[in-house]
Structure 1
Amino acid sequence: MSIQFLAFAEAFPLAREFRISRGAKTQADVVTVIVTDGHYYGWGESVPYARYNESISSVLAQLDSVKDRVATLKDTTELLSILPAGSARNALDAALWDLRAKQTGKSVYALTGLSEVKRCYTAQTLSIDTPDNMAKQALELKQAPLIKIKLDGELVLERLAAISQASPKSRLIVDANEGWSPAQLSDWLPELKALNVALIEQPVPDTDDASLAGLNPDILLCADESCHTSENIDTLANYYQAVNIKLDKTGGLTEGIRALKKAKDARMQVMVGCMVGSSLAMAPAYCLCESVQFVDLDGPLLVAQDRADGFTFEHGRMSQPSPFLWGLPGQYGQQFLASTWQHHMTEEAL
């Protein structure tokens, strides 16, 4: 049965400016893919990321270049040889899983053999600001179980101290986005432990991973920008105790499952993470969360208006409501996707 798909850009304004060590953004720019077999429809979303030399236009061009090859796909594993790891493959992979759930009458959990997520607490993210403003952001979270803090190389201890004082019961994840030197990391580690930091994401540039060898820190170090696919895991296990699996890096759930297994085999802890996007982007990643140690899928909390029938959040607890926008059997959403398909096909024809 022939598969057709279309891809288009969408933008989600953010609830507030989101700032990391590499810059700030006020909206989430995403690529949405809809696939159909002529009867059923599926969809997915990805977030092109400039750090990996991606843009909306480059991802749309990638997808357009494989339309003929996708028409005869038998399953998502064939995508691994058609598209490289990245957000183009992620959006298409997600859409194909959703389509398959509709075709087979089985959930993506059943199709993949993954354990259905019963309970999940996600980190909630604070973007870089002054210590006082970051403390105010932390207070708004009302003692969230897990807070993720974006930092650069400035005022690190001052910012963390302010947040820890504002939310003393919260465990903290620090995300430096490659913004520290190995020397800074070594200097700050003892005090970070005292401030209830449980994990540090990618403290050093991915070119400096080897500098972490033999460090044996009291806080988990987690590879993020250094970790893309399952092929990276064995090397990273020499330097890190954890990896951050993001489907926009693995190129979708299909490879994400392989990366999760490889990390477990290497006895590494796992964070499932995200770029800033809607619940549609989080949904495939959520399927991995039953057996991981850290979840960071709060993207929908950062946008001003999420998609309909997306995740619900209560004091850090992330839940999949019913009805839900992705990955389940049945006719839910089919009329909307068919209408959206027709709208964009008409626009392309004009």
Structure 2
Amino acid sequence: MELRFELKGLRLKETFSIAYGNYDKREALLIELSHQNCKGYGECVAIDYYQINLQRFVLKLKEIQTRIESHKIIHPKEFFKFLLSLHLHPFLLSALDCAYWDLFGKLENKSFIEFNQLPSENLIESSITISVGDIDTQIQKIENNSWNKFKVKCKGLNKADIEKLLELNQNIALDSNASFTDEDCIWLQENSDVQRFSYLEQPRPIDQYKVLNKNSFANWMADEDCQNLDSLDELIPYYKSINIKLMKSGGLTPALEMIKKARELNYKIMIGCMTESSVGISAGCALAGLVDYADLDGASLISNDYATGSCVENGKIMLSGKPGLGIELK
């Protein structure tokens, strides 16, 4: 097996504004694993509020390259155990895990969905993200959009804005990226109108969720608070829903385990994404049949997607059906 890796730049179609800051571009690390003329791809991106340094990932890959390349081809779930022994950051672990699933499927001529006997029909629709901005601009973007589901970013709580969004009679979720106060959360979860939002994502900074009540009117969804399998038990009294992103969970293999346990604990589940190319989005799309919500608009927000595979068109998830994750570079 051969390992290659390359830093890539992702350009956003327009400035992406969230509570953490404004972004016009993201840096990505593309992983390629190849064997017998088949190539598998995975990806991770530099997210500043996760303190991701891709240069450190490159140094780590150079350090472990020989160990990966000398490893025999085995089932991806067994290969993942080997990857765990390398003590990798979850973002880098995810890129390697996804690349290996893609490669293994291509070698075996079977898709990830076939291997894992996952549902692939009647998939839920993805939302598209509306950046932080004045409420009239946000509403105009919603009304002029061909998608049917929207995740509206906000920086702090403006009650008048909440009322305007609810008047639209659209499928809308709120994502404050941890910018709500305790008082904001109490007001929201005691307001019966708030149950008309499909969910309210990551209202408070990490580990400051004790004010939340899962039995309130608000469908609180954990994002940064839900990093891995170990998070799920602790969050039960506070969150109804969780956002599983492959990069923060460590890839497809652990995401499957998280989904299984989350179902047992009666969580609603979303498969989410960062700013990603179709490399990362194709991996996320493969899990769409297992979840209640999808937020897989990452590749739709960039202007220089360098890959093809599964995709999202106006919110509709279109699975490639090809072996592995169906990823090809342009």
TM-score, length basis structure 1: 0.85
Match of 1:209 in 2: 209
Q: What do residues 71-123 of structure 1 show as CA deviations (whole Å, max 9, x unaligned)?
A: 31642332223234521111111110111011111111122332335433001
SS of residue paired to 2:237? coil
Q: Is this contact kept in 1: 2:106–2:324, CA < 8 A?
A: no
Matches of 1:257 and 1:224, distance apart in 2: 17
Q: What do residues 108-153 of structure 1 show as CA deviations (whole Å, max 9, x unaligned)?
A: 11223323354330011100011111111111214x4321011111
Q: 1:70 to 1:22 in 2, by over 3 A?
A: same
Alignment of 1:267-278 (within 5 A): 267-278=266-277
Q: 1:28 to 1:133 in 2, by over 3 A?
A: same
- TM-superposed deviation, 1:55: 2.0
Equivalent residue letter for 1:295: A
Alignment of 1:31-180 (within 5 A): 31-71=29-69, 72=71, 74=74, 75-142=79-146, 144-154=147-157, 156-165=158-167, 168-180=168-180
Q: What do residues 254-311 of structure 1 show as CA deviations (whole Å, max 9, x unaligned)?
A: 1111111111111111011000111111111111111211100011111123335344
Q: Is this contact kept in 1: 2:139–2:165, CA < 8 A?
A: yes
Q: Is this contact kept in 1: 2:94–2:246, CA < 8 A?
A: yes
Equivalent residue letter for 1:291: L
Matches of 2:234 and 2:257, distance apart in 1: 16
The structure that is helix-richer by fraction is 1
Q: Is this contact kept in 2: 1:206–1:226, CA < 8 A?
A: yes
Calculate the aligned-residue CA RMSD, in Å.
Answer: 2.3
Identity percentage of aligned residues: 24
Unaligned runs of 5+ in 1: 338-350
**Do residues 293 (structure 1) and 292 (structure 2) align?**
yes
Match of 1:345 in 2: none
Q: Is this contact kept in 2: 1:157–1:192, CA < 8 A?
A: no
Match of 1:184 in 2: 184
Match of 2:259 in 1: 260
Unaligned runs of 5+ in 2: none
Match of 2:325 in 1: 327
Q: Is this contact kept in 1: 2:279–2:308, CA < 8 A?
A: no
Matches of 2:51 and 2:246, distance apart in 1: 16
Matches of 1:230 and 1:181, distance apart in 2: 27
Q: Is this contact kept in 2: 1:48–1:59, CA < 8 A?
A: no
Between the two proteins, the alignment pairs up a number of residues equal to: 324
**Do residues 250 (structure 1) and 283 (structure 2) align?**
no
Q: Is this contact kept in 1: 2:278–2:305, CA < 8 A?
A: yes
